[in-house]
Amino acid sequence: MTARQLVSPERIVVAIVVVVVVIVCATTPQFLTLNNTKAILASTSVVGMAALGLTFITIVGSVVSLATAQSMAVVAMVFLAAQSWGLVPAMLISLVVGVVIGGIQGLAVGYWSINPVVLTIVTAFALTGLATLVSGGTTVNASGDGFKGLNATPGGIPLSVFVFAALALASQIVLQFSIKGRQIYLVGENRLAATSAGLPVARVVVFAWAAFGLLSSVGAMFLAAFNTSATINVGGSLTFDAIAAVLTGGTSIAGGRGSAIRTVIGVLAISIISDVLLLRGFSTGAQIAVKGVLILVFVVVVQVRAGRVAR
Amino acid sequence: MNSEAQGQPVVLIDGLTRSFGTSTAVDGVSFSVNAGEIRGLCGHNGAGKSTVIKMLTGQLQPDSGTITVDGEIVRLRNPHAAQRAGIAVVDQELSVIPALNVAENLRLGDVSAGFFPGRGARGIQRQLLDDLGLADVRLDERVTDLNLGQRQLVEIARALSRNARLLILDEPTATLSDSEAQLVFRAIRRVAARGCAIIFVSHRLREVLELCDSVTVLRDARLVGTASSAELTVSQLIVQMLGEAPHRPARTAGAALDERSPLSVTDLRVPGSVSGFTLEAVPGVVYGIAGQVGSGASDVLRAIAGLHPGSRGAIGLAGSSLTRNDPTSRLGSGIMYVSNDRKGEGLFLEKTVGENLTSTRLPHLSRAGFVGLNRERQQRRLLAGLTGIPDARIGEAVSGFSGGNQQKVFIARTLDRPDARVLLIDEPTRGVDIGGRAAIHELLRSAAASGMIVIFASTELEELIELGDVILTMKDGHVVRRHDGDIRGDELMRDMTHDEDARR
C-alpha cells in the first residue's frame, strides 16, 4: 500500500468519524458498561441477520431487496401460527417459507433478468396482500409457547446474539471459500463476463436470493419470539435498516465486492451511534436525523471510493 | 455557405508525423484536398489512417508537420479548435441522441450556439436537411423514429451546420444497408457540390471507388500516393494498400491430430448476421475466420459458444450432437470462448490475476462445494507461469496490467484443463503489442498442438496469415471462400472487402 493510499481523503474522513465517535462514546456516561454493551448487541442481531442475507444479493449484483420487512413479517407470522406443532417443526417450516420467498425472487432476477428493485417493491405489496388475506387482517398470536426458548439469555446475553455471530461466520466462510460464494462475486462484478465464461449465472443468483431468504427468516423467528405476536407490520423499518448496515459496511451497491464481516461492522456502527444518541438524551426525532446524516456520510464516502476503484 | 470555385485546396497536410513510444504511426504524410472534391482515404489496419484523422480533428497533436486550412496554418489543440477551423467529422458510431428531436440534435455540441436558439436557426436547419435530401423529415421529429441512414444524415447535417470546410466521414456506412448507404452517398455528393472538401474512409473498397473522385493510400505509416478513382480497380487498390502482399506458402505444420473427434458446424444461422456457416474442424489445426466488422465472423464464434439463443443449425462434437444452446452447457461440453470485448465481457477487471485465472474452473479445484485453497494456489501459479506473469503479481488487480498481459490472462483461463476441447477466440491480439502478440500466437499454437480445436476470428491480415492453418473468409454473413495451403493476403483482402454479390 502506498503512502498516497494511506492518506487518501476517504481514509481521512473515516478516521475523523471513528475518532469523534470514540471520543463521544468514551465521554458518554454509562456507555462503557456491561449492560450497555449487551443492549447494543441485542439490538444488533435481528437487523444483522437481515443485513447478512442482504449482503448476498447486493454482492451478486441484485442491488437490494425492498421487501425485507414484509418477507420477515410473513415468516414471523408463519412461525407463531405453527407453534402448536412444536418449536422445531415451526422453525423448519419458517425456514422453508423464507427460502421459497427468496428463491422465487431469485428465479425472476436470475432467469428473466427482472429489475430487482421493481421486483421487490411488487413483492412487498404481494406479501402484504397475501398476509392480510390469510390472517384476515388480524394479529397472529402464538399457538404454543415453544418459541420462548428463543428468548433465552445464556450468560446474560440474548441467544440471538450467539446465533447472529454464528451466521456471520458461516456467511463469511460460504462467500469466501465455497464455489457458489466465489461465483457470487464474479457474477456481481460483471454479469456479461460471467455469462460468456459459461458460469451458471442464473443458478448463482437463485442461490444468493435463497441465502437471503434463509438468513432473514432466522431473524424473523427471533423477531416473532421477541414480540410474541405478529402483523404484517412487525418488520418495522427493517428494510432500510438492513440496507443502511450493508452500505455502511462498505459492500458495493454495484455488486462484486463486500463481505459478511463488513456487514457486521456496519450493523455495529449503526447500533453504537443510536445507542450514544439515546444515552445523551436526544429526542427520537433528533436521533433518527443524526443517525441518517452519519449513515449518509459513511455511505457516500465508502461507495464513492468503491465506484472510483471500479472505474 | 460559400461560393468558392471548385479546385482550390481547402486543406493541405504537409509532412505530418506522429509517434507513439518507439513506433511511428504516421511518418511524413502530405496530401491536399480541394474544394468540392471527395477524397477516399485507404489503408490496411495500422497504416495510419485513424491517426491522420485524429490529428485533423484535434484529438491528437502532430509531432511535426503542418495542417493548412484555406491557406492558413492551423493548430488544432482540441476538437473545439478543429470545429472552429471548419473541420467536421462523422464516424461510424452514431452520436445522435435518439431521445431528442432532430433540431435538438443539430444543436448538440455546437460551440457557437447560444443557450437559446435564435429565430433564424430553424430556417438554417431546415435548409440543411433539405439540401441533404431529408425534406420529408420534420425538425421536431424524434430521432428514434428515423432509420439508420436518416440518422447518419442528421449527423452529417450537424457536422455541416458548423460551416464545415472539410467534412471527414470515417466508416459512415459500416452499419448501413445498401439503400441506406446510397442515401448517404447522394447527400455526400450534394455537400461536395457546394464546395465542401470531403475525406471518406471505408473498408468497402468498391464503395470508395464508386463515390470518390480520388483516393489517397497509406501503408505502414507512409503515403503511397494519390490517384484518380477512374484510373483504379479494386485489385490495384489492394496492391497499393498491401504493397508486397503478405503471402504464405503451404505449410506442413498444424497437421490434423485426431480425425475422429471433430467439431462439426452445419448450416449455422444467426438471424440478422450469419446466413449459413458450415465447418468441420479437427484437433491440431488452427482455423481462422477472416471478416470485417459486421461480416458475421464474431457471431459464428458466439453462436458456437452458446451466446446466441436464437441461432439455428447443428453443432456436433466428437460425434455427439450439442442440443442445449446456452453458454454453461457449451462450456460443459468443453467449448471455451474468449470474447473480443476483453473489458466488457471478458475479464473480471477489479479482481486479481489469480481470481481471474481460476474463475472458470472452480469446480475442478473443489471438494464438497468448497474450493481447495492449496490446489487453487498451485493452479494459479501454473497458469501465471504459462502467461509469463511473475508469482509476485498474481495478487494484483488485473485492471492494472497491459493489454497484452490482460489478454494472456484471459486466454490462460482456457488452458491446462482436461475438459477443454474447443477454443474459440475472437480477435486474439486486439490491443496487444508486438511482443505480446507473438507470445499469444505461441500459446494458441501449442494449445492446438496439444489436441485442442482452435478457431479464431480476426480482421487483421497479418494475424490471419501468421496463425491460421485454414482460413475462411466471410462477408455479409456468409462464407466467401476457404483458403488452405498457399494463402495470399491480397486474395483474403479481396474476399473480405469486395464481393460481387449484393449486400444484405
pLDDT at A156: 82
Collect all residues of chain B within an 8 Å Cβ-Cβ radius of residue A183.
362
Dihedral (CA of B327, B329, B335, B336) sign:
positive
C-alpha distance from A196 to closest chain B C-alpha (Å): 6
**Does B245 have pLDDT greater than 70?**
no
- The domain limits of chain A are 39-310
State whether B305 and A196 contact (CB < 8 Å): yes
Establish, for the pair of chains A and B, how many residue pairs have beta carbons separated by less than 8 Å: 76
Any chain B CB within 8 A of the CB of A310?
A: yes
pLDDT at A308: 54
Q: Which of A178, A148, A157 is nearest to A86 (CA)?
A: A148
CA–CA distance, B62 with B445 (Å, rounded to integer)? 39
If you compute the radius of gyration of chain A from its CA atoms, what whole number of angstroms results? 20
CATH class of A39-310: mainly alpha
Any chain A CB within 8 A of the CB of B309?
A: no
**Does B501 have pLDDT greater than 50?**
no
Q: Pick the residue of A174, A196, A305 with the most B CBs within 10 A to test the interface with B by mutation.
A: A196
B4-44 pLDDT, tens digit per residue, is 444 578 999 999 999 887 778 899 999 999 999 999 999 87
Any chain A CB within 8 A of the CB of B48?
A: no
CA–CA distance, B76 with B272 (Å, rounded to integer)? 41
State whether A257 and B331 contact (CB < 8 Å): no
Q: What is the mean pLDDT of residues B346-355?
A: 94
HSE, side-chain direction, 13 A CA sphere, residue B406:
25
pLDDT, chain B, mean: 86
CA–CA distance, A79 with A230 (Å, rounded to integer)? 10
Looking at residue B487, its amino acid is I
Phi, psi of B228 (to 5 degrees): -70, 140
Cell of B223: 503515403
End-to-end CA distance of chain A: 19
- Shortest CB distance from A177 goes to which of B336, B347, B371? B371
Any chain B CB within 8 A of the CB of A197?
A: yes
**Partner A, chain B 313-332, Cβ-Cβ below 8 Å:** 327-328, 330-332
Please list the residues that pair with B215 across neighbouring strands: B40, B227
Do residues B290 and B458 lie in contact, with contact meaning Cβ atoms separated by under 8 Å? Answer: yes
B5 DSSP 8-state letter:
P
pLDDT at B3: 40
State whether A196 and B360 contact (CB < 8 Å): no
Residue B172 C-alpha from the chain's centroid = 13
What pLDDT band is residue B486 in, cutting at 50, 70 and 90?
Answer: confident
pLDDT at B2: 40
Q: Which class for A234: exposed (0-12), middle (13-18), buried (19 or more C-beta within 10 A)?
A: buried
pTM over 0.95: no
What pLDDT band is residue B110 in, cutting at 50, 70 and 90?
Answer: low
Q: What is the mean pLDDT of residues B115-133?
A: 75
B208-236 pLDDT, tens digit per residue, is 999 999 999 998 889 999 999 999 888 88
In this prediction, the residues of chain A whose per-residue pLDDT falls under 70 are: 1-11, 13-14, 302-303, 305-311
CA–CA distance, B114 with B71 (Å, rounded to integer)? 29
- Shortest CB distance from B348 goes to which of A193, A195, A309? A193
What pLDDT band is residue B498 in, cutting at 50, 70 and 90?
Answer: low
Spatial strand order of the sheet with B453-458 comes to B335-338, B422-426, B453-458, B286-290, B470-475, B478-484
Cell of B480: 466467401
Any chain B CB within 8 A of the CB of A200?
A: yes
Any chain A CB within 8 A of the CB of B425?
A: no
C-alpha distance from A300 to closest chain B C-alpha (Å): 20
State whether A193 and B351 contact (CB < 8 Å): no
Q: Given its phi and psi angles, is residue B75 left (phi above 0), alpha (psi -120 to 50 degrees) or beta?
A: beta
Please list the residues that pair with B41 across neighbouring strands: B201, B216
Cβ atoms < 10 Å from Cβ of B485: 10
Phi, psi of B269 (to 5 degrees): -130, 135
What pLDDT band is residue B460 in, cutting at 50, 70 and 90?
Answer: confident
pLDDT at A163: 96
pLDDT at A173: 97
C-alpha distance from B459 to closest chain A C-alpha (Å): 21
CA–CA distance, A67 with A102 (Å, rounded to integer)? 10
Give B353-365 as a DSSP string. Answer: HHHHHHTT-GGGG
In B302-394 the beta strands, taken as DSSP E runs, fall at 312-317, 320-321, 335-338, 366-367, 370-371
Percentage of chain B beyond pLDDT 90 is 44
HSE, side-chain direction, 13 A CA sphere, residue B305:
24
Residue B412, C-beta contacts closer than 8 angstroms, at least 6 positions apart: B357, B383, B384, B386, B387, B443
B47-103 pLDDT, tens digit per residue, is 888 889 999 999 999 999 999 998 899 999 998 899 889 998 887 666 788 888 888
C-alpha distance from B214 to closest chain A C-alpha (Å): 44
State whether B350 and A200 contact (CB < 8 Å): no
B415-442 pLDDT, tens digit per residue, is 989 899 999 999 998 877 777 888 899 9
Q: What is the mean pLDDT of residues B152-180?
A: 81
Looking at residue B19, its amino acid is S
